[in-house]
Amino acid sequence: MSEHNPNSYYVPASSRWPFIGAIGLFVTVYGAANFIQQSTDAVANDGQYGAWIMFAGIAILIWQMFSWWRDVIRESMGGLYSPQMDRSFRFGMMWFITSEVMFFAAFFGALFYARVLAIEWLGGGSNNAMTHDLLWPDFIPEWPLERTPDGTTTNAMPAWGIPLINTAILLTSSWTLTLAHHALKDGHRSKLNGWLAVTVLLGAIFLGFQGYEYYHAYVDMGLTMGSGIYGSTFFLLTGFHGMHVTIGTIFLAILLVRTLKGHFTAENHFAFEAGAWYWHFVDVVWLFLFVFVYLL
């Protein structure tokens, strides 16, 4: 249907969505900064508008992403994309995931630094005898840090309950997603839909368990973001991971809608693979979390 010459280059038409996306990001973060100031008490910022601005920004972003990808899907289904474009998308997704790995690396770095260096030094290790003796002589260096230098106490989250179940869930979901991928390549559409749906469901169950775990931590265990460095690293690492599971689940759910509509062919399904890569990445991050946040 396309007169596209495979030997000539393809440059996409101009689009309003990137610019609208920039506006959306700006409105979101402007609202978020106000919302955070208005809903916490560290800074005097009276008002209620922050949340509304933030939600307006998020709405713009959702509209922008939906419309942008709708255009891209139409162009792709219209046969406009060459194998070279496909490679560009693939490389782009790989490097995006690389950047995500480095984002998590920052928080893992904080965890390792605190565990290996900061806490030992607060206990008088290395050249810090005076820090310990003069500032916090009663401080006992340990991990999980259940009692901070200033005396805040908390309880560490055990690994062998919900975290273990969640590990099993995520590992299973990676497997079901691979089954869906194989079904797609073999042209078994109903199997594809089935396994993809199971994967989405497993993602949602994971999130449900994690929500329960957070509730349990806050209400029953006294483990909060304010529980010293243990709570800080625990909630930021698992929280950002949970956010990525949420994004991944939405990603897969949209792929499910598309497979149900008959999108993707055995040869041409970059979006599906991008979603699968993202999901596996989230899975691998979880394994590191399970080992370093919960287990060790």
Partner 1 sequence: MSAVIEEHHDHHDHKPTGLTRWLFTTNHKDIGTLYLWFSFAMFVIGGLFAMVIRLELFQPGLQFVEPEFFNQMTTLHGLVMVFGAVMPATVGLANWMIPIMIGAPDMALPRMNNWSFWILPFAFTLLLSSLFMEGGAPNFGWTFYAPLSTTFGPPSTDFFIFGVHLMGISSIMGSINVIVTVFNMRAPGMTLMKMPMFVWTWLITAFLLIMVMPVLAGAVTMMLTDRHFGTSFFDAAGGGDPVMFQHIFWFFGHPEVYIMILPAFGIASQIIPTFSRKPLFGYASMVYATAAIALLSFVVWAHHMFTVGMPLAGELFFMFATLLIAVPTGVKVFNWVATMWKGSITFETPMLYALAFVILFTIGGFSGVMLAMTPVDFQYHDTYFVVAHFHYVLFPGAIFGTMAAVYYWLPKWTGNLYNERWAKIQFWLQIFFVNLTFFPMHFSGLAGMPRRIPDYNLAFADFNMISSIGAFGLALTQIIFIAVVIGCIRGKRKATAQVWEGAQGLEWTLPSPAPYHSFTTPPKVD
- Select from 22-30, 173-181, 254-262, 267-275 the region that touches partner 1 (CB under 8 A): 22-30
126 near partner 1, rule: CB under 8 A:
yes
Q: How far apart are CA 217 and CA 209, in angstroms?
A: 12
Decide: 146 and 155 in contact? Cβ < 8 Å: yes
243 near partner 1, rule: CB under 8 A:
no
- Using the minimum distance from each CB to partner 1, give the nearer residue, 72 or 204: 72
Q: Residue 134, exposed/middle/buried by CB under 10 A (0-12, 13-18, 19+)?
A: exposed
Q: How far apart are CA 234 and CA 247, in angstroms?
A: 20
Q: How far apart are CA 108 and CA 192, in angstroms?
A: 35
- Select from 42-50, 163-171, 257-265, 266-274 the region that touches partner 1 (CB under 8 A): 42-50
Please report where in the chains the tokens 């997603």 appear, as a residue. 177
CA end-to-end distance (rounded Å), the chain: 58
- Using the minimum distance from each CB to partner 1, give the nearer residue, 69 or 209: 69
Binding residue count for partner 1, defined by CB under 8 A: 86
Which one of residues 6, 40, 46, 137 is an interface residue with partner 1 (CB under 8 A)?
Answer: 40
Closest distance between partner 1 and the C-beta of residue 266, in Å? 21
- Select from 149-157, 164-172, 174-182, 201-209 the region that touches partner 1 (CB under 8 A): 149-157
Q: How far apart are CA 139 and CA 254, in angstroms?
A: 50
- Using the minimum distance from each CB to partner 1, give the nearer residue, 110 or 165: 110
219 near partner 1, rule: CB under 8 A:
no
- Select from 20-28, 189-197, 200-208, 281-289 the region that touches partner 1 (CB under 8 A): 20-28
- Using the minimum distance from each CB to partner 1, give the nearer residue, 176 or 210: 210
**52-111 binders of partner 1 (CB under 8 A):** 68, 74-75, 77-80, 84, 87-89, 91-92, 95-96, 98-103, 105-107, 109-110
Instruction: List phi, psi (to 5°) of 70.
Output: -60, -45
- Using the minimum distance from each CB to partner 1, give the nearer residue, 40 or 190: 40
130 near partner 1, rule: CB under 8 A:
no
Tally of CB atoms within 10 A around 66: 12
238 near partner 1, rule: CB under 8 A:
no
Which one of residues 225, 257, 266, 291 is an interface residue with partner 1 (CB under 8 A)?
Answer: 225
Q: How far apart are CA 263 and CA 276, in angstroms?
A: 16
**Which residues have a Cβ under 8 Å from the Cβ of 146 and sit 6 or more positions away?**
153, 154, 155, 156, 230
Structure-token pair, residue 96: 């995006």
Which one of residues 33, 51, 58, 205 is an interface residue with partner 1 (CB under 8 A)?
Answer: 33
Convert 14-25 to b/e letters by CB count within 10 Å (16 or more is b). Answer: eeebeebbeebe
- Select from 189-197, 228-236, 250-258, 286-294 the region that touches partner 1 (CB under 8 A): 228-236
